[in-house]
């Protein structure tokens, strides 16, 4: 199958270059329009924070790797990228790569739960733009199936592999019913935003945000239906929260032991979970000496993350097994696309020959004898064609060896001159006889 693809990702380029090549849906739509015109008969474009990939079926052999690379970089007007920043895939390797991405094992964070949804969206966009065909649709469906099987049949997506999510999972273990708890997130940068989102997904009863620039906290609060307090009022309100996450860029502690000690008196001993996910730290680690204060920082949370990453890596062989099973299934289906026309042509060839011979004796024997001869001819043709047909199907359905299928199909066509004129071949046979 002449599918070709290129990928820039976390292995091939730093984040600055990956960001520069990131494509919005509007840009992908425009890019696909040009690709349809010049290089590809169909395909898809995937662009996330860690990768931008372009895969498609070649149009008349035009879509060489370098042409795809130049087309993409020229579209974004980026000159600092070279072809060395891209991985190149063709045919079987392209299919395998797409399946690996869908399963999450090719992600920067192994088992990334978001990538399957992003792939679905890229496939749907390609379909909406009529940039697909029957083979690509089957490929898309199989890729989604790989992703779903990986999630359902392995533990590739289990356990937190980010500090923010690890912190939320610790909270979940401390508080049996987070819906009855209130949480404060200090700092609304990328880490704080992620933590706030995870807490919302956890279902905390009340979420409050604080940031040095209040307007930034207010924007995030609108999206998460949270409340906002001024950064300068954090200490005054500390006792109101059961869960406290801090993720600022402060060079010194913003919460010290005395402030937490005072807050705990007001809380009358009710426990508080404090997650310091900032570097440098925001909360004085001495607070863990206080009763009913559950404190974690990046180092302690990092241990959890490392353990979960190891567990996910251990699942990769199981995911690879799923990928190979689905590749065999996909190519078994794909190979039959080449086999079916050959089988049909062989049968038509022999049936035409049989009908010609039957026609020659039709008026030379009795009606009763003709029916017997016709029946015998049909059964004889069926027995002659059974083994070649079954063998060809078995090769096609055996898996990935599409070259072998193509070779056998070609040999059969050449042997019986199926690419030529059946009648002329028959006439030659008559003359030779």
Return the active site residues: 49
CA distance 94 to 44: 12
The span from the first CA to the last CA of the chain, in angstroms, equals 42
CA distance 359 to 381: 16
For 91, which DSSP code? T
Q: Residue 205: which residues within 8 A CB-CB, separation 6 or more?
A: 178, 179, 180, 181, 182
Asked whether 196 and 188 are in contact (CB, 8 A), the reply is: yes
CA distance 24 to 14: 19
CA distance 233 to 236: 5
CA distance 68 to 83: 10
Alpha carbon 317 to chain centroid, angstroms: 17
H-helix or E-strand containing 45?
strand 40-47
Q: Which of 49, 48, 145 is nearest to 95 (CA)?
A: 145
Asked whether 421 and 352 are in contact (CB, 8 A), the reply is: no
**How many residues in the chain?**
433
């Amino acid at each position: 199958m002449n599918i070709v693809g290129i990928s820039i990702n976390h292995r091939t380029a730093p984040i600055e270059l990956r960001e520069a090549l990131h494509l919005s849906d509007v840009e992908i739509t425009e890019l696909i329009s040009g690709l349809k015109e010049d290089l590809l008969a169909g395909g898809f474009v995937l662009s996330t924070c860690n990768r931008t990939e372009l895969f498609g079926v070649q149009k008349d052999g035009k879509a060489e790797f370098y042409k795809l690379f130049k087309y993409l970089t020229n579209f974004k007007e980026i000159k600092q990228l070279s072809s060395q920043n891209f991985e190149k895939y063709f045919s079987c390797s392209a299919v395998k790569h797409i399946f690996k991405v869908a399963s999450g094992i090719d992600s920067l964070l192994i088992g990334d739960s978001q990538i399957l949804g992003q792939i679905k969206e890229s496939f749907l966009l390609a379909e909406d733009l009529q940039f697909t065909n029957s083979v690509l649709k089957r490929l898309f469906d199989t890729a989604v199936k790989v992703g779903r099987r990986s999630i359902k049949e392995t533990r590739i997506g289990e356990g937190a592999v980010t500090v923010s999510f690890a912190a939320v999972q610790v909270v979940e273990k401390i508080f049996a019913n987070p819906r009855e708890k209130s949480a404060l997130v200090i700092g609304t940068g990328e880490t704080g935003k992620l933590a706030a989102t995870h807490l919302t997904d956890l279902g905390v009863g009340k979420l409050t945000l604080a940031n040095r620039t209040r307007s930034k906290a207010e924007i995030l609060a609108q999206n998460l239906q949270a409340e906002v307090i001024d950064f300068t009022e954090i200490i005054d309100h500390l006792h109101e929260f059961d869960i406290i996450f801090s993720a600022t860029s402060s060079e010194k502690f913003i919460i010290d032991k005395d402030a937490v000690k005072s807050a705990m008196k007001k809380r009358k001993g009710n426990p508080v979970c404090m997650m310091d996910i900032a570097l440098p730290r925001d909360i004085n680690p001495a607070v863990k000496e206080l009763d009913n204060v559950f404190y974690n920082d990046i180092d302690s949370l990092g241990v959890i993350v490392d353990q979960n990453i190891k567990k996910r890596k251990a699942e990769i062989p199981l995911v690879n097994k799923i990928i190979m099973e689905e590749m065999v299934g996909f190519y078994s289906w794909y190979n039959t696309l080449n086999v079916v026309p050959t089988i049909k042509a062989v049968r038509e060839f022999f049936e035409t020959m049989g009908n010609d011979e039957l026609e020659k004796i039709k008026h030379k024997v009795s009606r009763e004898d003709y029916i017997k001869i016709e029946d015998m001819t049909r059964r004889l043709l069926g027995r002659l064609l059974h083994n070649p047909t079954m063998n060809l199907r078995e090769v096609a359905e055996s898996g990935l060896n599409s070259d072998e299928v193509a070779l056998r199909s070609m040999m059969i066509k050449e042997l019986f001159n199926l690419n030529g004129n059946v009648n002329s071949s028959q006439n030659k046979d008559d003359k030779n006889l």
